[in-house]
Amino acid sequence: MFVRLSLCIPALLAGCAAVVSAAQVQGILIDQTCSSKAEVHIVAGPRLEGGMIVAEAHTRECALMPACQKSGYGVFTYDNKYLKFDEAGSRKALAVLRASKKEDDLKVEVTGEIQGDTIKVASLKLIE
């Protein structure tokens, strides 16, 4: 009995380490290649660069470039974090981009399960 219990405890703890939370997130749809341009960082001056202004200026045309498509997509949130989409989410994002006429300011609402810096996308909708 003691042996079985001692084997169950590590398995239980490992399950707790992979916490998944359901969420609804709003932000800007951007490909992974260009997402680093939106990261907030300090430059000489000192001043901040990047952030939501850069993300909002990212164009649909850029996001549809072959290298950007290949990198996958994600959402740059209003609290300056980038959540990568799972593979299915990236396919949904590509379909949304192809169907849209918007050229920039690609605001989206994403519903899914967040695990670390990735969101498993259940639904994705462009906010016009």
pLDDT in tens, 55-94: 888 899 999 999 999 999 999 998 889 999 999 999 999 9
The residue ranking higher by pLDDT, 64 or 5, is: 64
| pLDDT at residue 41 greater than cutoff 60 | no
| pLDDT at residue 35 greater than cutoff 70 | yes
**CA-to-CA distance for 81 and 87, rounded, in angstroms?**
19
| Amino acid identity at 78 | Y
Dihedral sign of CA atoms 98, 78, 31, 104 in order: positive
| Amino acid identity at 73 | Y
Q: Which residues of the chain form beta strands (DSSP E)?
A: 21-31, 41-43, 47-49, 73-77, 82-85, 107-115, 118-126
**CA-to-CA distance for 56 and 3, rounded, in angstroms?**
56
pTM of the complete model: 0.77
| pLDDT at residue 2 greater than cutoff 50 | no
